[in-house]
Structure 1
Amino acid sequence: MLHLRTMAPDSLTADILAVLESDEAVTGLAVFRGAAVRPRGDLIMAQVAREAANDVVQRLRELRVHQVGSIEMDAVGTWLSRSAFDAELRTPGSSADAVVWAEVTQRSYEESELNWTFLSFMTLATVIASIAIITDSQILMVGAMVLGPEFGAVAALGVGLVRRRFVLLRLAIRTLVAGFAAAIAVTILLTLLGRGLGWITLDDVVGSRPGTAFIYTPDKWSFIVAVIAGAAGVLAITSAKSLGLAGVFISVTTVPAAGNIALGVAFGDGSTIWGSVAQLLLNISGMALAGWLTLALQQAVWSRVSVYRAKHMRVPRRML
């Protein structure tokens, strides 16, 4: 169940109420006339079954509510309402499976923003990954993979393509390129410093590393794991039950590959560099492809659900 709030000029109140009252998935409808100050107008609140959120939001967008006012949605953690329960039963689909595109798109924009927080986490994760490689520590490697913030931007690539948000697509590409470039550059400088102090040697980079050798030896399994992890990650961020993201983070070696690239550049080892570059590109392309396919399938399924709702939706005798 979602809590829906709209603020808009009072000239739109009747149209907004008509949209909400005519939908069986809407309940708990309330109007606060004159409550909105900016924009000056009315505040309208309602509960909406998550499965119908896309249809309701689309109809409100057609009224230009988002341009002259605002549309807000929050997940309701706990609720006790017979009318809301009946509304969910009447609405086709499962709330856990429902994809609220406004929510997914906004989250994608937020996680694709190139800011100091993103760059800091990316850099710290890459530095930890390089230390894990030097010490051949799988525990440190897992920590670096969990710390890396890149999956949100990778998932945004699929959202941008499926929803035709090409500005989002450009933002995600820019953030990924700049994030990895900055993290690798800082790690190279720190590696050169460690090399100068005698803390890191060439043997640490090219020597036997049974625990972390997979970072620079990409194969078919690397791509398969990236595809599976990308699909699982997209399902986790689009579902009402966001489970499994930690498992996705520690399945794909994007950040470790970036750390190994930095070590290879600092010591001038071509095989380390190109093997890690291949691993990085393979993982990102696999996740992006899986994310796009998963989102495209979800959009196709929920478009059919929306068509089914439109054919079978009826105006209830009274709204509770």
Structure 2
Amino acid sequence: MYITISPQKIGPAFSSSVADFVDYLEKENTDRLPEAQEYFFNQTQEKITRDKVIKEIDGNTAKLKTTEPRYYSLTINPSQKELQHIKNDPEKLKVYTREVMKDYAASFNREINGRPVQVSDIKYYAKMEFSRTYKERDKEVRENAPFNNKIAQLKNELRKVQRGEITGHPHNIRKEILALQKEAPHKIEGKLIDEGTPKQGNQTHLHLIVSRKDQSNTVSLSPGSKYKASEVSLHGKIVKRGFDRDRFFEKAEKTFDQQFNYKRNFVEQYNARKTYLQSPQKYYSMILKLPTNERKVAMGILNTGVSKIPDARIRFAVKQFQKAIELGLKSSSIGY
């Protein structure tokens, strides 16, 4: 499970309204009939319209400065392995999302009217999406880029030859294009992956728009706080503040596992990803100490990128992992 939290983009180049973001999230509805469209939902309601989301989020910004985000964007990104486990069931993901928002509320070190923050205090709207496309930053697009660029140049040259604008041999140009297409590393059904190419497999994920202010429009709840838990004097009163991201990510992961009886491998765990970023050597060591079956599963997950370690690091991790296993086998420290 990979969850992100991002603040609203602010500044002269960005709208203060949530409307642009809402319209972006409506993109999958463009070619659907009304009865097939996907609506927003929240903790207690279904089929919430675009207009209501914009009105509620834009109208819930009391006393916020122009330099402060008015809302936060959360994404809930189950891996294909997790989606397969729940049979890619949208209703199960809705139930899970509502449980995640309970975890979100509980991760605030704040009180409202003398009690901890509850999910009923959070104003949010969630939207489920079922497809993804490759982006410019994706490994497949980056590694295919030299081939796609050269092919585009050759196709342009071929058109000029056919129009008689330049001299050349169309057969040779086509032959060179075919060679590049064959050599390119990443393809789907024979076609080169490029920016905008749809990704294969189950790609169901969720976007959430979460208001910075609580339901009453009086309390500011920022998951972007740099404090996990602290207290500060405000107008002569001691006020708690902070949001514990580690607690939130860990709890959301455990919620999925408990709710769906999911057996999470070490490399799928949030704490494992943190360990890798802090100490790759310790990470590899922990993998090598896994039971044989779990170690084999870990290797397969690393190869498919389910662990959500950045692409370049996945490749490096797999190579290091393979070397470590080979060394361990030679020294008889591990076995299959």
TM-score range normalised by the length of the shorter chain: under 0.3
TM-score (norm 2): 0.22
TM-score (norm 1): 0.23
**When you count helix as a share of all residues, which structure comes out higher?**
1
